[in-house]
Homo-oligomer: A and B are copies of this chain.
Amino acid sequence: MTRNLPTSSARIEEDISALAAITEPDRPYTRRAFTPMFLKGRNWLAQRFQAAGLTTHIDAAGNLIGSRKGRKPGLGTIMLGSHTDTVPDGGRYDGIAGVSAALEVARALENQGIALDHNLEIVDFLAEEVSIFGVSCVGSRGISGTRPDEWLSRESAGLALADAIAEVGGNAAAQRTRSDIAAFLELHIEQGPVLESEELDVGVVTAIAGITRIEIVVEGRADHAGTTPMGSRKDALSAAAWIALAVERFATDLAAGEYHFAATVGEFRVEPNAANVVPSRVTMLIDVRAERRADMEHFLAELREGVAGIASQTGVTVPEPRVLSDNMPTPCDADVLTALDNACDANGARHCRMASGAGHDTAWMARITKAAMIFVPCVEGRSHAPEESASAEDIALGAAVLLDAVQRLDKD
């Protein structure tokens, strides 16, 4: 379907190709926050912001910001953006599509000579991905007052995070929480298969799932694999296999409901991991995503009970599952969602409402402003991999939806 859009897929394609070329050689696409390659990408991007008529600066949190003054600056700022840092061996679209779409909104406003009442800021958040400091969403947490102070002294290769923020042009000591943002909007690739398989153009994100990480340690007993009768074993791997299957079953049951739910055993380490030794210990890390807190609590209760049952049936010892981190689900703002739905309809975008199973900067921005986000389709849901793929046309349509929604919110 060829649409007559105010946004340009050609300019978006140019943004994305240019950033894709700024990658660690031999490891496309790698542009991790705080590395020289990241700064190279940022320099290119700042010029691109300026070419769109934006005034650029790095804020105290280390975010790159392109600003355009509004007619009534007292109304505050509408902020749009995402991030350009990548995971190691990442893709060309995760975050980047959102920065390019936000920039395209600014370019379209400029081209069409449209003045907004609100100030407009296009943002490239610092270090959304887990960076070399082992933490994520550094920039959006910085301006939303949710960046733990103890993070600043974390070190990577002898450098403290506070100093690394200074190196990109920020100033952690001068940080203040932004209170002038009237609304925040982000476009992101879905990183899942739903839009593509349902042939939709846009997902209007109702909530960003809570992310809980749980560690389970299964303690069995190392025994000789040749001589220990099957009935006399305490095989930590067998018990851990039952637990992994229980996690999958509980999650599948909860996911059958109306709300997004997923649980994954992503990390699984076996000791001693030797051919002829019955495994003595397995350490598993479970990643749980819930749109509704009640589902998370239900899952945790089922997990505790399930694990205790498996331990007593298999003879292994499993200490109480340990919650390593636990973030609440974040609902998106109802007014912004309505603006986005209407903007989709106005631009002929086939859309649905859906929750985000992935974490995003939007979740932190929601602490300080009316925030919401949209997803655009990506091929086979692949993400965090060089095969990540999305179409510039879909991103341009998403940018047109953002542009439309911004104009609606500007009038509110």
Q: Which residues of A are interface residues toward B (Cβ below 8 A)?
A: 190-194, 209, 211, 213, 222-232, 235, 237-238, 240-242, 244-245, 248, 251-252, 255, 261-262, 264-270, 273-279, 285, 287, 289, 356-359, 381-385
Q: List 6 A-B contacts (CB under 8 A).
A: A191-B226, A225-B289, A226-B357, A229-B262, A230-B262, A238-B245
Q: Is the CB–CB distance between A289 and B226 below 8 Å?
A: yes
Enumerate chain B residues within 8 angstroms of A240, measured Cβ to Cβ. Answer: 241
Enumerate chain B residues within 8 angstroms of A269, measured Cβ to Cβ. Answer: 270, 273
Enumerate chain B residues within 8 angstroms of A285, measured Cβ to Cβ. Answer: 275
Majority SS of interface residues in chain A? Answer: mixed
Q: Is the CB–CB distance between A273 and B279 below 8 Å?
A: no
Q: Can you name the residue of chain B whose Cβ is closest to the Cβ of A253?
A: B230
Q: Is the CB–CB distance between A228 and B266 below 8 Å?
A: no
The CA of A269 and the CA of B271, in the complex, are separated in Å by 11
Of A193, A237, A252, A359, chain B has the most CB atoms within 10 Å of the CB of A237
Known contacts A224-B381, A241-B242; 4 further A-B pairs (Cβ under 8 A): A190-B227, A193-B228, A265-B279, A268-B273
CB distance from A146 to the nearest CB of B (A): 19
The CA of A268 and the CA of B235, in the complex, are separated in Å by 13
Q: Is the CB–CB distance between A278 and B266 below 8 Å?
A: yes
Q: Known: A231-B255, A252-B230. Is A224-B358 also a contact (CB below 8 A)? A: yes
Enumerate chain B residues within 8 angstroms of A385, measured Cβ to Cβ. Answer: 222
Q: Known: A248-B235, A265-B237. Is A191-B227 also a contact (CB below 8 A)? A: yes
Of A191, A226, A238, A274, chain B has the most CB atoms within 10 Å of the CB of A226
Enumerate chain B residues within 8 angstroms of A358, measured Cβ to Cβ. Answer: 224, 226-227
Q: Is the CB–CB distance between B277 and A224 below 8 Å?
A: no
Q: Is the CB–CB distance between B245 and A241 below 8 Å?
A: yes
Q: Is the CB–CB distance between B237 and A268 below 8 Å?
A: yes
Q: Known: A238-B245, A241-B244, A270-B267. Is A384-B277 also a contact (CB below 8 A)? A: yes
The CA of A359 and the CA of B225, in the complex, are separated in Å by 11
Return the contact of A381 from the options B230, B232, B357 (Cβ within 8 A). Answer: B232
Q: Known: A192-B224, A226-B289, A245-B238. Is A276-B252 also a contact (CB below 8 A)? A: no
CB distance from A283 to the nearest CB of B (A): 11
Q: Is the CB–CB distance between A238 and B248 below 8 Å?
A: yes
Enumerate chain B residues within 8 angstroms of A266, measured Cβ to Cβ. Answer: 225, 273-279
> Shortest 4 CB-CB distances between A and B: which pairs?
A192-B227, A226-B357, A241-B241, A225-B264
Of A265, A268, A275, chain B has the most CB atoms within 10 Å of the CB of A275
Q: Is the CB–CB distance between A275 and B255 below 8 Å?
A: no
Return the contact of A224 from the options B232, B276, B383 (Cβ within 8 A). Answer: B383
Q: Known: A275-B285, A276-B287. Is A224-B267 also a contact (CB below 8 A)? A: no
The CA of A383 and the CA of B211, in the complex, are separated in Å by 43
Return the contact of A226 from the options B209, B223, B232, B275 (Cβ within 8 A). Answer: B209
Q: Is the CB–CB distance between B262 and A276 below 8 Å?
A: no
Of A265, A266, A285, chain B has the most CB atoms within 10 Å of the CB of A266
Q: Is the CB–CB distance between A275 and B287 below 8 Å?
A: yes
CB distance from A260 to the nearest CB of B (A): 8
The CA of A383 and the CA of B277, in the complex, are separated in Å by 10
The CA of A252 and the CA of B235, in the complex, are separated in Å by 13
Enumerate chain B residues within 8 angstroms of A242, measured Cβ to Cβ. Answer: 241, 245
The CA of A267 and the CA of B245, in the complex, are separated in Å by 19
Q: Known: A231-B252, A252-B230. Is A223-B381 also a contact (CB below 8 A)? A: yes
Enumerate chain B residues within 8 angstroms of A276, measured Cβ to Cβ. Answer: 264, 266, 287
Q: Is the CB–CB distance between B274 and A229 below 8 Å?
A: no
The CA of A395 and the CA of B274, in the complex, are separated in Å by 29
CB distance from A361 to the nearest CB of B (A): 14
Q: Is the CB–CB distance between B230 and A255 below 8 Å?
A: yes
Enumerate chain B residues within 8 angstroms of A356, measured Cβ to Cβ. Answer: 226-227
The CA of A341 and the CA of B163, in the complex, are separated in Å by 77
